[in-house]
Every structure is written in C-alpha cells, then in structure tokens.
Amino acid sequence: MVAIKHILIPVCALFIVTTSAHAQKKQFTITEATNGISTTLAPQSIKQPTWQPVKDKLYQVEKNGDEDMWTAITFPSGKKDTVITQNSLSSALSETYKSMPVIKWLDEDYAYFTKGRNVTLGLQHAGGFNWIPWASLPADADNMTYDKHRLIAYTVDNNLWMVNRDKKNIQVTNEPNKNILNGQAVHRNEFGIETGIFFSPMGNYLAYYRMDQTMVNDYPIIKWDTVPAHADIIKYPMAGGTSHQVTLCVYNPATGNTVTMKTGTPKDQYLTAVTWSPDEKYIYIALLNRDQNHLRLNKYSAETGSLVQTLFDESSTKYVHPTHPLYFLPGHNNEFVWWSERDGYEHLYLYNTTGKLQHKLTTGDWVVNEITGYNKDNDQLIITASKESPLEKDIYTVSLKGKLERIDKGTGMHTALCSSDGRYVLDVYNGAGIPRKTVVRSTDGSFNKTLLTSKDPLADYDRPTIKNITLKADDGTPLYGKLILPTHFDASRKYPVIVYLYNGPNVQLIHNSFPESGNLWYEYMAQRGYIVFTMDGRGSWNRGLKFEQATYKHLGDVEIKDQLVGVDYLMSLPYVDQERMGLHGWSFGGFMTTSIMLKHPGIFKAAVAGGPVIDWKMYEVMYTERYMSTPQKNPEGYENANLLTKVKNLKGKLLLIHGTADNTVVWQNSIDFIKKSVDEGVQVDYFVYPGHEHNVRGKDRVHLMQKVTDYFDLHLKP
C-alpha cells in the first residue's frame, strides 16, 4: 500500500530555536502547511540535474533573467557552458517554448524531450544540437518507454506498440479482449514492478508482460462527473480470491515473431525481477509462488522461451519480498548483483550466471537502500544505505570483495545521482538545520565542490520546538518518534494532542531531515496550540525483517501495542491534556486510526481516518496475502483485523474520509462501515472527495487538511 518506499544510535532531543520577537514571525497558512514544502516554501535546488552519459558533464536548467538556459559543468575543471537557451530552442523548432522542456539523454550523443505526445530527438555536435521530430504518439498513448537505441514502446488501451528504427509505429500485439493487458505493470505494482516493457540491451528485442485478468472479479468504480453517473469496471483481485495470470513475452521486430517464456504453473504465480542478460540471449525471471514464501530465480532462452536453469531458491516461513531486478556489472557480463533479505536485512550478493555465489557484498544490521551507479575503473558499486542510523541515509562505495567506504559528509538524508562512469556523484542532502545542500563528489574522495547551499525558506516563520524521542517496545526494540510542542510553549499549561500515524509496511515516517518535524501541517497545528506526536512502530520499513515481520498474520495487533507505548509516554507528560487527544492517519494509517478507536475506545476523544482498510478480505491479493496469508488459511487473523465487527465499541468522535474513485482501498470499505454504524445505532461522521482516487492531491488537498484541522478544532479545543 502506498500513500502514495539504517546501526542504532542514541537520539537526543533536538530543539529548533526561535527568536523572542514572536510577533515578527509568520504563521503558516493552511495552503503553506499542506503543499508549501514542495512549492512556495521548498528549499532552493538545482533544476533538472542530469549527467551526460560517458562524459563527466553535469547538466542543469538555470535562469538568465526571464529565459531558461540548459547549462553544463565539466568536472573536475568546473568549466560551465550554456548549451541551449529557451529562445534558441524556439528558433530551431519554429515553436514557442515558455520554459525549457525536460531533456533526457539516450546516450552520449542523443537526447530527447516530449511536448504532449510529440517527441523531439536531438543529436549533439560541436556547435550544439540538431533537433528533429522523432515520433508523434497517439493522444491515448500510455506507458511510454524510451530506449537508448532510439526506439520507443508504448501502450494504447490493452495493446503494445513500438516506434522502430525507421520511426514507424508498429503494432506489437492485437488483443481484442480488453481484460488481457500487454506492456503494462502487473501484480498491482507490488514487488517493485513499475513497468511492463523491457527493451533488450542492444535494442534487438522487446520483452513485455502479458496479464490475463479475465478470471478476476469485476469491480465498479463509480464516476460522478456525468449525468447519469456511470461505472468504470476494473478487475480487482481480493485476498483469497481468484488472481490474474501473467506471462512474459519477447517480440522480435526483425521477424515480427513473439515467443512466450515457459514459466509453467501454477498460473497465478508472480513474475518479478525481469532482467535481460547483457548479450540478449537470456531473460532472468524471479518466480514467486502465490503464498510468497518460495522464490526461484530462473534463466530462460530468449529465442525459444525454454527454461535453461534455476540459479537458486529462497524460502521463508513467512514471506520473501523481491523488489529489485538483477544488476549486471558493466564489463562483467557473467556477474550480477542480487538483492536479498535472507539474513534479516536488505543486502547485496554477487553471483555468476551459473548461480554460484561469488561474494556477499554488504553485511550487518542495516539496510541497503539503492544501487546508484558503478565505477568500472575501480570495480566499485555506489550505493545508499542506512548504516549509521535507521533515521539517515548515506552514500558508499562497495568493492567486489565487500570493502565498504562512506563518501559523503554531513548527517541527514543523502540522495546520489551518479555519472555513468561512476567517477562522480551529485550528492543532494538535507537534515536537521540543513534545508538542502548540493555537492559534487568524486567517488575516490579526491574531489568535492559545493554547488548550492540553500537558504532556510522557513526562517521567517514562527516554528515550534521539536524533540526526537526514543521509546521501547515490549520486547525492548527501540521505537523512534517526534514530539512537536506548541509554539510559545508553557510547561505549566495543558495542551491538546494530535497523534499522526501510519505504521504499515514499506513506509517510514521518522527521518533526520528538513523540516525537522517531517511535515509542515504538524507545525501549523503547533502554531494553533496543539502538541503533535508521530512514531514508527514495528511493521514499518527500514529496520530489517524481524521489525517488519512482527505483524505477520495479525495486522493491527503489534502496531497498536507500539503506538500505545507512545500514548503512555504522552500521558506521562504533565503538559498533555489526556482528555483532549486526537488521532489521524491515512491508508494503512486510516486502518490503524479506526482500529485504535474501536479496539481501545476512550483513549482518543476524536479521530480522522482517511482511505481506511476496514476488512482485509476486501484488499488486493498481492499485498494482503504477503502480510496476512489468505482468509482461508488465517481466519483468526482476518477476523481480529475486521473492523466491521467492532463498530459498536466506538467512543468519541470519528470522521471517515474516502475518495469516491479509490481503486486502491475501494470505497466499499468505508461504505460498509457506515452501513454497519447505522445497523448498530452508532454515530460517525463521514466525508467523501468525488473523483479522487486513494490520495487527495493538488488544490483539493488543502480542502482536505482544512477539513481535518476543523474537525480537531471542533472536538479538541477548549
């Protein structure tokens, strides 16, 4: 479920110092509190940074008066050149560009950009670029994928198309059944799956997912923007029900032939980690069984589709959760890196293509977050990892023998954009007291240059004191949280409290980041006289398998225990008003909010639950069965988590909010809850956002957060 993706160190209280001239400090507006940190209050940043392949040149978009410029900095000299201006691009293409488009590299010579469904290709030469039309895609084209060999693949409805080397649009599939999808992401985007299109390394073949969902139950998503309203029928496989069936196909543009990989049965298994071999002869697929406790990494012939070899297996008494394809090392065509949590933490393993483990590259009680590049000269991976603290992320080099060296400086959250040769990294980081800093570093440690130190965009605002809190779960596990105190805090007073929570898989709320609170809405509420508390409990991400799998088969049990540890801490504070406590969460956090209100009634006076799962039998197969197994195999766990049977326990005020077009947590969850409330004679409050899917975004999100704020003001303020 997406809202919407570190050794233990002591966490001390962090205080943000504000001046005594409070009257001169600004108050956040609800718009600033909701969207400001990504818009008007975002720290200054380098715009559209990208490395030119092969060359150590960093490109970015800069302003020259009212005109955009695409500039390049060569390293290590630091020489800057203006490559393109907004006006020169307009002149070259006889078309007005009001801003610089997002230009992306295909290889060291060719770049491209899109405007609507028109794609323009650029060939770089000594004097600049020659721009020519590359393709005009249909208005309903989707899932566009651009290959370095100047090929494009895209989908129209349920079929796959491609633009070949002659710039001709070729129809790859011609499937009349709308419930058989080609070239689209499958398994509801679980297992790290983001695409259904896979060009081969040399551009000679096109692999794609084919998903047959004819056997999956229909589900209506009601659209209210027409009169009469109409139903969009989607396929939604619910836990324990019939799932879809996926295969992987390989299309040869030269012959027009398509081969299907012989992945066998059962047909409702999951096909993950799809990866081409560098020589295009083979395709690797990680097959995960429906129970998600046994994985096989298989090697298939791209020519015949036949199974060549099972390289290795991974099994678990709970679940295996693959989320990355193989990473073939440049210059090492017979070696790849495999991600695995087999020792309890996400780490990297070097294998050869016969399935022999060469070396464990990383080890320890910490998590690897990303592979960001490879330095071929030194045979080093560049990765990010939460080694120093689960609250931070740093950049490291890792040799093929497992030697690990940190290459960044400064505490906080680092992101790395690597040059293609792995010699340089654009390190953009933020942390407590550091809005954003942008540095180019060489991976051998010999060079670093600061490109930008952002000013604090919140310096003029009346900001609260923020304390980093470490509590302990019942088994002694450290739990990290943040306590945001009201502005102008007076320890002799008592204040209402809002607890914000998620506490579900694949999400981490608490980081050493900017803003230190983690969310300007928390600070907005602090300005309005609230204490705000948030904490990651067991079941959430980035702490290893034991931490995550503590909730297995019993979602909503261990997580609630941990959140109640936070509640006990709050109640121990003399300035907390125990009679005026509120609770808020969305998605899994909405499930948690509703669960606490029903399983532990009376603690919170008011709560707001957004997009909540009410009955896990109504949530999708892939996510739910990973953490809960099936309703048939785990009836006790599903019954315990079923909130429809607990409605009568409600005390206090509860507002449920749902998007009417939610195709993630379907609307029926909260509708059934309302129906059960009526049946039980229980009063609840309810609000919907017509046309919105799982998350309310854009300008309407301001309306949402005002709604949440008003609800707490109504029920928690004296």
Do 284 and 220 sit in the same domain of this protein? Answer: yes
pLDDT reading at 18 higher than 70 = no
Asked whether residue 710 is domain-assigned, the answer is yes
Structural domain total, the chain = 3
Q: For residue 535, what are its two tokens? A: 């904490």
Residue 4 pLDDT > 60: no
Specify whether 700 is catalytic. no
**pLDDT (0 to 100) of residue 23:** 57
**662 belongs to the catalytic site:** yes
Does 584 fall in a domain?
yes
Q: Point out the catalytic residue in the list 68, 147, 427, 662.
A: 662
This prediction's pTM? 0.95
As a whole-number percent, the residues of the chain with pLDDT over 90 amount to 96
Whether 3 shows a pLDDT value over 80: the answer reads: no
Q: What is the pLDDT of residues 625-669, one digit of tens each?
A: 999 999 999 999 999 999 999 999 999 999 999 999 999 999 999
Q: What is the pLDDT of residue 409?
A: 96
On whether both 116 and 223 belong to a single domain, the answer is no
Mean pLDDT of 210-230: 97
User: Residues near 249 by Cβ (< 8 Å), separated by ≥ 6?
Assistant: 182, 207, 208, 209, 210, 258, 259, 260, 261
Residues in the chain: 718
Q: Is the pLDDT of residue 142 over 60?
A: yes
Instruction: Give 388-403 pLDDT, tens digit per residue.
Output: 999 999 999 999 999 9
Query: At residue 128, does pLDDT exceed 60?
Result: yes
Q: Which of 587, 629, 670, 677 is catalytic?
A: 587
Question: By 3-state DSSP, what share of the chain in percent is helix, strand and coil, each rounded to 5?
Answer: 15, 40, 45
Mean pLDDT throughout 565-583? 98
The answer to whether position 337 is within a domain reads no
End-of-domain residue from the set 108, 136, 164: 136
In whole angstroms, what is the distance from residue 606 CA to residue 402 CA? 52
Of 94-98, 210-214, 259-263, 484-488, the poorest mean pLDDT is in 94-98
Q: What percent of the chain clears pLDDT 70, i.e. is strictly above it?
A: 97
Is the domain of 72 the same as that of 165? Answer: no
**pLDDT tier for residue 19 given thresholds of 50, 70 and 90:** very low
Region 452-459: what's the mean pLDDT? 98
Residues 145 and 265 both lie in one domain: yes
Among 286, 309, 332, which residue terminates a domain?
Answer: 309
- What's the CA angle centered on 485, arms 483 and 488, to 5 degrees? 165
57 in any annotated domain: yes
Q: Domain residues for 693?
A: 22-41+460-716
The C-alpha angle 82, 442, 348, rounded to 5 degrees, equals: 120
Which pLDDT value is given to residue 157? Answer: 98
State the pairing for strand pair 424-431/413-418.
antiparallel
Q: Residue for token digits 């550091």?
A: 434
Distance CA 426, CA 417 (A): 5
Of residues 273 and 10, which shows the higher confidence score?
A: 273
Task: From 136, 162, 189, give the residue that closes a domain.
Answer: 136
The confidence score (pLDDT) of residue 499 equals 98
User: Given this model, what pLDDT does residue 718 score?
Assistant: 83
Judgement on whether residues 33 and 169 belong to the same structural domain of the protein: no
CATH number of the domain bearing residue 572: 3.40.50.1820
- Cβ–Cβ under 8 Å, residues 246 and 264: no
pLDDT at 151: 98
Strand arrangement of the beta sheet that strand 357-360 belongs to: 327-329, 332-340, 347-352, 357-360
Residue 581 in this model has a pLDDT that exceeds 50: yes
Residues in CB range of 508: below 8 A, 6 or more apart: 390, 536, 540, 541, 542
| Torsion angle of C-alpha atoms 130, 134, 139, 143, degrees rounded to 10 | -110
Q: Does the residue 378 lie in any domain?
A: no
User: Are residues 183 and 126 part of one domain?
Assistant: no
Give yes or no: residues 158 and 117 share one domain: no
Q: Are 196 and 186 in contact (CB under 8 A)?
A: yes
pLDDT in tens, 274-332: 999 999 999 999 999 999 999 999 999 999 999 999 999 999 999 999 999 999 999 88
* pLDDT value for 559: 98
Q: Tokens 């290959």, residue?
A: 147
Distance in angstroms (rounded) separating the CA atoms of residues 536 and 477? 11
Are the C-beta atoms of 437 and 450 separated by less than 8 Å? Answer: yes
Q: 625 phi and psi, to 5 degrees?
A: -70, -20
CA–CA separation, 33 and 523 (whole Å): 8
How many Cα atoms occupy the beta-carbon half-sphere of 196 within 13 Å?
24
Q: Can you say whether residue 371 is alpha, beta or left, with left for phi > 0 and alpha for psi between -120 and 50 degrees?
A: beta
118 and 150 belong to one structural domain:
no
Q: What is the mean pLDDT of residues 668-681?
A: 98
Same domain, 127 and 147: no
Mean pLDDT computed over 23-29: 90
Between CA 325 and CA 147 the distance in angstroms is 18
Closest CA to 254 of 144, 137, 150, 166: 166
- Other Cβ atoms less than 10 A from the Cβ of 638: the count is 23
Residues 597, 483 share a domain: yes
Residue 37 belongs to a domain: yes
Domain assignment present for 571:
yes
Q: Does the annotation mark 694 as catalytic?
A: yes
Cβ atoms 691, 607 nearer than 8 A = no
Residues 118 and 227 in one domain: no
Q: Which residues of 454-463 are buried (b: 16+ CB within 10 A; e: fewer)?
A: beebbeebbb
Given the residues 244, 414, 694, 715, the one annotated as active site: 694
22 pLDDT exceeds 90?
Answer: no
